[in-house]
Amino acid sequence: MPQKPIYSRYPLMNSVQSGLSRGLVRTESGELISLYRKLNEFTGSPYTWEGAFSLACLICDHPADEPSAKAVIRALADTEDGSFAGIEEADQISAARAALALFEYTGDKEILKRLAKWCRWLEAGWDRFTGTRWVRIQPADLMEFLVRFYRISGLKAVLRLCSRLRSAAMDWTTALHHFQQRTSLNLPDSAEEMKALYAREDFTELDFFNTQYLTNHAEILADGMRYTAYSAIYSGNGQELSAGRKGWEYIHKHHGAVCGGTTANVLLAGRGANQGIHPAATAAWTEAMISQMQAGTETWAVNELVRLVYNGLADCLNHAEKNGYRFINCLGGSGDSHCFDPAPEQDRDMRTAARLARAAAAVWQYAVTTGTEEIRLNYLMPGRYFVTNGNQSAILTSDGESVHFRCKESVDINLLLFCAETETADISVQNVDGTEIPASTEELIRSGGGYLRIRRSWENLDTLIFHQGDRIYTEETQHQGICVFTRNRLMSLDVSGAEYRYAVCGKPCMKNGKSFVPMKRISRWPAADGVPSDIPVLPAGKGEAVYAPLAGYADTAERITIFPREARYE
């Protein structure tokens, strides 16, 4: 049985927020459709099945008839030892996760029985299986599968596997609580040296320097945070419950990217504007924040997730055809010369697309979550959401700015809407005639943002209109630079074919719903390989200030997002 939870609100069979089941969310997002088509090129790899099927549940009319679902069904063929037919041992966990996703959509109990048999095979060969160091170093996928599978099946044998995995896995809880950036004398200088290091037969996560390398790799670190969340849901252990937030405070301070997540070269490399952001790492951080959102009551993870969804992840999805680095400041350069991935080079595109698909599907699945007494709108993503609460049900349709209700009978339920800035939020409720209806609104402030609770009895065709407000604000970055935000969106200067050497000389403003920032030309700011160098420190501006219009970070390809501050900044 699981350990006795320290906090009674963290039993294994429950969580603070539950995402909607597969098939209850639909969207027509063009970015997801493009990613799904790309992912279908790799259906031969079990690593892609879960992401492809999850996207199919969002955009296809008959997901169970899609190639990914058929591939999973073929793998479910019965075998003597219980493993999945024709699947290499390294891909067994990926196949199991895909099969569980298929069950969550179809409800076929034969799949559940087959997964139980696979768990027996896993337990019988546990020592051999955990002898693979990547199972110990990145245990998040397996722990998440076990927790989700136990919630459905209730098999006590699954709890034994959870306990054994916690004993065998790398101690990510301690790594996050004591996270620190250390530069050792034998630090690898390139991705090639890093690959050679990981390929050594004597490589072990118990070595001090190896642990430092692992905790400074963005994708592996994000998976470690996700593991601690699901391990905490299993155990209720206080150290595991707080590990994510404790680690993120330091990680974000020193390595956080302004678009969400972290930078992602070989060893994080700080917050520099010229440091790459890899889509696989961005996807991993998205999944990590979603896991933390399930395990905690505070809203810090939701706030970080909102920044990722609207900026970093949106940028990766808008440019999914490019699997190299994305850059905060970019003149068209892209590459992966500093990217470390334990997979073979030819599999990198497949792995990146698969991780993006998993993260994107989870974003839509957890945009609307259900609790015991309320429905939470964590962020507004265009789509249709079928929600239930007790014997009440409704269909919520969102266009990103408003939510429309469709229900046969009145739905008397609290609606919690997350808002990064509750003081500037403008919320109204209208009926089918467009008449504004009074509704009781209560602020539930938490660290890093808060929820607005809207109390009323919802009728058919009621509309909730949400406006974040036009407040524009800046955040300070390294080297006394600044970046601009409005409505949770990071803003950028589009420099496609234009001059990029500008410094901000005053406060940004809003005019007719658009963001503008005063700038002056500067003389020196070199670039290499299509990427500007790190921003100059307090450069002297030339000439008169001009007000330049800004566009959304995710909507620009060649851009300047982190600006140097002009020496006479006002």
Residues of the chain with CATH 2.60.40: 370-467
Q: Are the beta carbons of 334 and 324 closer than 8 angstroms?
A: yes
Residue 250 has pLDDT above 50, yes or no: yes
CATH architecture, domain defined by 18-366: Alpha/alpha barrel (1.50)
Please give the angle made by the CA atoms of 377, 380 and 385, to the nearest 5 degrees: 70
Rounded CA separation 169/154 (Å)? 23
Residue 5 has pLDDT above 60, yes or no: no
Average pLDDT on 186-192 reads 64
**pLDDT band at 196, cuts 50/70/90?**
confident
Higher pLDDT, 132 or 285: 285
Residue 152 has pLDDT above 60, yes or no: yes
Predicted confidence at residue 413, as pLDDT, reads 82
Average pLDDT on 318-329 reads 82
Rounded CA separation 419/448 (Å)? 10
What mean pLDDT, rounded, does the chain reach?
86
**Range scoring the smallest mean pLDDT among 201-210, 303-312, 337-346:** 337-346
Average pLDDT on 459-478 reads 84
Predicted confidence at residue 556, as pLDDT, reads 93
Q: Name the strands in the sheet holding 368-370, side by side, starting at the edge strand that comes first in the sequence.
A: 18-19, 368-370, 374-377, 411-419, 449-458, 440-446
Residue 75 has pLDDT above 80, yes or no: yes
**Range scoring the smallest mean pLDDT among 40-44, 304-308, 417-421, 539-543:** 417-421
Residue 6 has pLDDT above 50, yes or no: no
Residue 253 has pLDDT above 70, yes or no: yes
**pLDDT band at 323, cuts 50/70/90?**
low
Rounded CA separation 344/526 (Å)? 34
Rounded CA separation 90/214 (Å)? 20
Average pLDDT on 183-196 reads 64
Residue 249 has pLDDT above 60, yes or no: yes
**Range scoring the smallest mean pLDDT among 69-78, 178-187, 201-210, 491-500:** 178-187
Residue 189 has pLDDT above 80, yes or no: no
Q: Torsions phi, psi of 131, nearest 5?
A: -70, -20
Predicted confidence at residue 295, as pLDDT, reads 84
Q: Are the beta carbons of 396 and 404 closer than 8 angstroms?
A: yes
Predicted confidence at residue 145, as pLDDT, reads 97
Which of the following CATH numbers is that of domain 370-467: 1.10.1060, 1.10.287, 3.30.450, 2.60.40? 2.60.40
Predicted confidence at residue 9, as pLDDT, reads 39
Predicted confidence at residue 14, as pLDDT, reads 57
Residue 444 has pLDDT above 80, yes or no: no
Residue 515 has pLDDT above 90, yes or no: yes
Instruction: Give the dihedral sign, CA 145/150/152/155.
Output: positive
Rounded CA separation 394/386 (Å)? 6
Higher pLDDT, 208 or 462: 462
Predicted confidence at residue 304, as pLDDT, reads 93
Average pLDDT on 370-394 reads 87
Please give the angle made by the CA atoms of 515, 520 and 526, to the nearest 5 degrees: 105
Predicted confidence at residue 143, as pLDDT, reads 97
Higher pLDDT, 419 or 100: 100
Average pLDDT on 251-259 reads 90
Residue 10 has pLDDT above 90, yes or no: no
**Range scoring the smallest mean pLDDT among 49-63, 178-192, 517-531:** 178-192
B/e letters for 377-413, b = 16+ CB within 10 Å, e = fewer, are bbbbbebebbbebeebebebebeeeebbbebeeebeb
DSSP string, 194-260: HHHHHH-TT--TTSHHHHHHHHTSHHHHHHHHHHHHHHHHHH--HHHHHHHHHHHHHHHHHHB-TTS
- Displacement of CA 237 from its chain's centroid (Å): 24
Residues of the chain with CATH 1.50.10: 18-366
Please give the angle made by the CA atoms of 224, 227 and 231, to the nearest 5 degrees: 140
Predicted confidence at residue 1, as pLDDT, reads 39
Structural tokens at position 275: 């440091």
Residue 438 has pLDDT above 70, yes or no: no
